[in-house]
Every structure is written in structure tokens, then in C-alpha cells.
């Protein structure tokens, strides 16, 4: 039996009708290993009542301060893969997988996946698509480029054919070696991003608006894709440079809204649509290789607010399930069928905001959402564990009734 679920963008997905309320918790592998695999999984399942783990298996760089009970208290990784890739698969690909130094030769993902299987916990693989640690650094020819031709040190471009081939192989490789119930992707966007040097310095008050336009990728692959779709690439470049320069020269921020500007700039709008189309194709290819459900997350791409490419791409890729955010649920009128799963960030679960958890979950259930995904185990303060446990109990009671 299946149920049609319509996402906020109007696309209908067929999913299995789920009577049971599902709950998942994201975690970094280092947090699970350093606190103890058995201990963390027992805590998740026995005390919190979580039904599945979403484990980060390919991450961007992370710098993290941890809870007092976890050693070392301060953790830093340049990111990369946290599983051992089948190297023969990548002998012909231009991009070679970069395994995290922390994981070394160990098979921690397999151990954690086995721990989940032993307990009957669902196991899902979380991966960043465009910000896997060190890829852009090692393969600058695949990096996103801003309008001034600067290559990002942290994000590769999803339009690039080598990146696409690599990601498809990576997902296929993972799925063929580790039993996985679903893939969960973040950073599903081709956006130029700064390295670890902090915000870009610039004259005047260039600020947020300039950074939104700076994120638009003009790498060779994106330009080629757009030219192939008869887009006026020079016109798109011109718009972006003009907006940034005008803002730099003192124009007030209120004059500029990214969405409003692109609507009045057909060349740039078509350019972004061509990127969207390219990402959608990639998502379709990945979904074919995944042999499991594919979820994509909105949150990370919302920071700069420039990625209309991301939202649109999910509307077209019918095999891919977009995860709702707290904002989606708040914006949806009660009773509207929406996305099937909501993602709640660790920061939502701290201090006073835990009191928002009950009404938010209640609202989510009313809008047809049947699963909650909490992120991220290592970033949830100990004081939030009890509210999570109570909220999940409430959600299960409500849905069982
Ligand atoms: Zn690009």
C-alpha cells in the first residue's frame, strides 16, 4: 500500500504507508567510537527510544568542542571518507577518494553498522556531496569557482563530470559493501565557498548580499552546461559582477534581495536553472546506484540563502525525498500533506528551545510527517536527552492511537 506525499514544492512522491512513527539520530563516527559504540547505541535505543542511526560516512572539515564525558574534549578533522573505499573502483576515475586521517586503516563504519544490525536499529549513511573534506583541495580543477575565477578550497562542483562519476561510484561502492537502509545527503548544491580563512574581506559594506552572489559557481563545467542550454553566460556573469560592485559602492542592502534580482535578470535565472537541471540529473543517477532510499537535506544549503537551485532540484527528482525543516513545518498550514520526515538541528534542542519540541512534533504529525531526524548526537547537550525521550514517547503514542 502506498501513500502520495506532496512536498511543499508541489511534487508528489509515492512512499510506503507508515503507520509507525520513526525516529532517527545523526552522529559523527568519532563521537560514537570515542564514547563507545555499544554504550552510544544502547543509550540511543534503550534510553532515548531512537529507531535508527544516520552515520556520517563522508564529512566536510569539522572543529568540535565536546560534552564533558567525551575525550578528547576538543576534536578536529579535515574530513574525508570514514570508510575504506574499494580502491580498484577508482583506478580509472580522476578523483581519488581521500580517507580521513582519524579513521586510518580501521573499519569503524562496519563496526557501527554491525552494532545497529545486532540491535535491530535502522542504519543510514550520511554524506556531504559537494564538501567532502580535502576533495576540492586535492582536485582544484573540480572546485567551484566564483565570478572572479577564484577556486574554492572546500567545495567541488556538482556540474563537473568527474565529480559526478566519483559520487556515483562512491555511493555504489558504499552500498555494495555495507548493508544500508538509506542514504542521507547534505550540501546538494554547486556553491563556491570560502576556506577556513573566515569571511571574505572587501571594501565597503559588501556583506551578505555580495557573498550570496559570490557563491554562484562559474566553473568551466557550469559554463559549459549553461552554454549547451543556450544560456547567455556572459550576461549572467555581467549581472553578478554588477550587483556585487553596486553593493560595494554603498547601495543599501534593502535594495537587494537575491530572489528579486534574479527574477529581473533572465540570463542569470536561466544560468541557475541550467545548474539546477544538472544537479537533478546527478541526483537521479545517484538514486539509481544507491539501491536504497535517498534523502536530501535542506539545512546546510540555506545558510547563504542563494541556493534556489537546491530547492528546485528536489522538486524534479522524483526518486529523492526532501527532508523538511522546522521552518517548513511552521510555514505549513495544519492538515497539509507535506514531506515524510523532519530534520531538527542540535541547536534547536538546547536550553529553553526544548520546550518548542512538543508543539513542533505535534505540528509535524498533523502535516503528515511520519519520521523525525535529530542532528547531531555529539552536538546535543545532555540536558536535551530527557525532552527528546519524552517527545518521542508522545509521538509514538499519538500515532499508535
Ligand atoms: Zn560549477
In this predicted model, what pLDDT tens digit does every residue of 157-187 receive, in sequence order?
999 999 999 999 999 999 999 999 999 998 8
Distance 219 CA to ligand 1 centre (A): 4
pLDDT value of position 100: 96
pLDDT at 178: 94
What is residue 191's DSSP assignment?
Answer: B
Per mean pLDDT, which range of 51-60, 161-170, 217-226, 353-362 is the poorest? 353-362
- Calculate how far, in angstroms, residue 77's C-alpha sits from the geometric centre of ligand 1: 26
Which cell numbers in the block locate residue 286? 545517484
How remote is the CA of residue 23 from the centroid of ligand 1, in Å? 35
CA of 275 to the centre of ligand 1 (A): 8
C-alpha of residue 157 to centroid of ligand 1, in Å: 5
For residue 216, the CA-to-ligand 1 centroid distance in Å is: 8
Mean pLDDT of 115-126: 97
Question: Which domains can be identified in the chain, with CATH numbers?
Answer: 2-139+155-192+280-400 (3.20.20.80)
Residue 399 scores a pLDDT above 90: no
Question: How many residues does the structure list for the chain?
Answer: 401
Q: What integer is the mean pLDDT of 258-269?
A: 87
172 CA distance to ligand 1 middle (Å): 23
CA distances for 38 relative to 102, 113, 253, angstroms: 20, 11, 51
Residues of the chain with pLDDT > 90: what percent?
52
Burial of 89 (0-12, 13-18, 19+ CB in 10 A): middle
Is-contact 133 156, C-beta < 8 A? no
CA of 215 to the centre of ligand 1 (A): 10
Region of poorest pLDDT, from 30-39, 66-75, 388-397: 388-397
End-to-end CA distance of the chain: 20
Average pLDDT, the chain: 83
How far, in Å, is the centroid of ligand 1 from the Cα of 389?
43
Task: Determine phi and psi for 127, rounding to 5 degrees.
Answer: -145, 145
For residue 365, is pLDDT > 50? yes
CB within 8 A of 102, min separation 6: which ones?
30, 77, 82
Q: How far is the centre of ligand 1, averaged over its atoms, from the C-alpha of 243 (Å)? A: 20
pLDDT band at 208 (very low <50, low <70, confident <90, very high): low
Residue scoring higher pLDDT (247 or 288): 288
pLDDT-based confidence at residue 315 (cuts at 50, 70, 90): very low
Q: 91 C-alpha vs ligand 1 centroid, how far in Å?
A: 24
Any idea what the Cα angle at residue 145 is, between residues 315 and 162, rounded to 5°? 70
Q: What separation in Å is there between the alpha carbon of 145 and the centre of ligand 1?
A: 6
155 C-alpha to center of ligand 1: Å? Answer: 10
pLDDT of 246:
85
Going from the Cα of 149 to the center of ligand 1, the distance in angstroms, rounded, reads 11
Nearest to 283 by CA among 308, 324, 325, 316: 316
CA distances in angstroms from 352 to 259, 331, 348, listed in the order given: 33, 21, 9
Residue range 252-277: average pLDDT?
Answer: 85
| DSSP 8-class letter at 340 | S
Q: 70 or 354: which carries more pLDDT confidence?
A: 70
Helix (H) or strand (E) holding 32: helix 29-35
Centre of ligand 1 from the C-alpha of residue 222, in Å: 4
Residue 207 to residues 51, 201, 210, 263, 365: CA-CA distances in angstroms?
43, 9, 6, 21, 39
What pLDDT shows up at residue 322? Answer: 65
Find the 189 Cα to ligand 1 centroid distance in Å.
Answer: 9
- Tell me if 81 sits within 8 A of 29, measured CB to CB: no
Q: Give the residue-averaged pLDDT of 347-357.
A: 67
Q: Give the pLDDT confidence score for residue 168 in this predicted structure.
A: 95
What is the reported pTM?
Answer: 0.86
Across 293-301, average pLDDT: 65
Classify residue 97 by its DSSP letter.
P
CA distances, 106 to each of 29, 30, 135, 329, 376 (Å): 12, 12, 21, 40, 23
Give the count of beta carbons closer than 10 Å to the beta carbon of residue 9.
12
How far apart are the CA of 143 and the centre of ligand 1, in A?
7
CB of 22 closer than 8 Å to CB of 293 = no
> Does the pLDDT of residue 117 top 90, yes or no?
yes
Distance 146 CA to ligand 1 centre (A): 9
Amino acid at each position: 500500500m502506498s501513500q502520495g506525499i506532496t512536498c511543499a514544492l508541489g511534487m508528489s512522491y509515492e512512499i510506503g504507508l507508515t503507520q509507525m512513527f520513526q525516529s532517527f539520530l545523526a552522529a559523527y563516527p568519532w563521537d560514537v567510537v570515542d564514547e563507545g559504540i555499544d554504550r552510544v547505541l544502547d543509550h540511543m535505543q534503550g534510553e532515548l527510544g531512537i529507531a535508527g542511526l544516520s552515520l556520517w560516512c563522508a564529512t566536510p572539515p569539522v572543529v568540535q568542542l565536546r560534552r564533558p564525558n567525551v575525550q578528547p574534549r576538543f576534536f578536529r578533522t579535515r574530513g574525508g571518507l570514514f570508510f575504506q573505499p574499494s580502491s580498484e573502483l577508482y583506478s580509472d576515475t580522476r578523483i581519488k577518494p581521500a580517507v580521513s586521517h582519524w579513521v586510518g586503516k580501521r573499519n569503524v563504519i562496519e563496526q557501527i553498522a554491525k552494532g545497529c544490525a545486532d540491535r535491530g536499529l535502522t542504519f543510514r549513511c550520511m554524506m556531504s556531496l559537494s564538501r567532502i573534506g580535502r576533495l576540492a583541495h586535492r582536485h582544484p580543477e573540480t572546485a567551484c569557482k566564483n565570478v572572479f575565477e577564484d577556486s574554492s578550497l572546500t567545495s567541488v562542483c556538482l556540474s563537473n563530470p568527474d565529480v559526478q562519476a566519483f559520487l556515483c561510484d562512491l555511493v555504489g561502492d558504499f552500498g555494495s559493501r555495507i548493508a544500508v537502509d538509506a542514504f542521507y545527503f547534505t550540501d546538494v548544491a554547486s556553491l563556491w565557498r570560502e576556506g577556513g580563512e573566515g569571511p571574505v574581506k572587501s571594501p565597503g559594506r559588501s556583506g551578505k548580499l555580495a557573498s550570496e552572489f559570490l557563491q554562484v559557481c562559474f566553473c568551466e563545467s557550469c559554463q559549459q552546461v549553461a552554454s549547451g542550454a543556450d544560456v547567455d553566460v556572459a550576461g549572467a556573469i555581467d549581472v553578478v559582477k554588477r550587483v556585487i560592485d553596486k553593493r560595494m559602492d554603498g547601495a543599501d542592502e534593502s535594495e537587494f534581495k537575491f530572489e528579486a534580482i534574479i527574477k529581473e535578470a533572465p540570463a542569470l535565472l536561466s544560468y541557475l536553472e541550467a545548474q539546477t537541471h544538472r544537479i537533478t540529473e546527478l541526483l537521479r543517477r545517484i538514486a539509481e546506484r544507491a539501491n536504497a532510499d535517498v534523502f536530501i537535506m535542506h539545512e546546510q544549503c540555506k545558510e547563504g540563502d542563494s541556493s534556489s537551485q537546491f530547492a528546485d532540484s528536489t522538486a524534479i527528482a522524483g526518486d529523492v525525498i526532501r527532508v523538511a525543516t522546522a521552518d517548513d513545518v511552521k510555514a505549513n498550514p495544519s492538515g497539509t500533506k507535506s514531506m515524510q520526515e523532519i530534520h531538527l538541528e542540535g541547536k534547536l534542542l538546547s536550553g529553553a528551545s526544548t520546550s518548542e519540541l512538543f508543539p513542533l512534533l505535534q505540528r509535524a504529525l498533523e502535516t503528515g510527517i511520519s519520521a523525525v531526524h535529530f542532528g547531531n548526537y555529539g552536538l546535543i547537550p545532555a540536558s536535551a536527552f530527557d525532552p527528546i525521550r519524552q517527545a518521542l514517547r508522545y509521538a509514538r503514542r499519538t500515532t499508535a492511537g
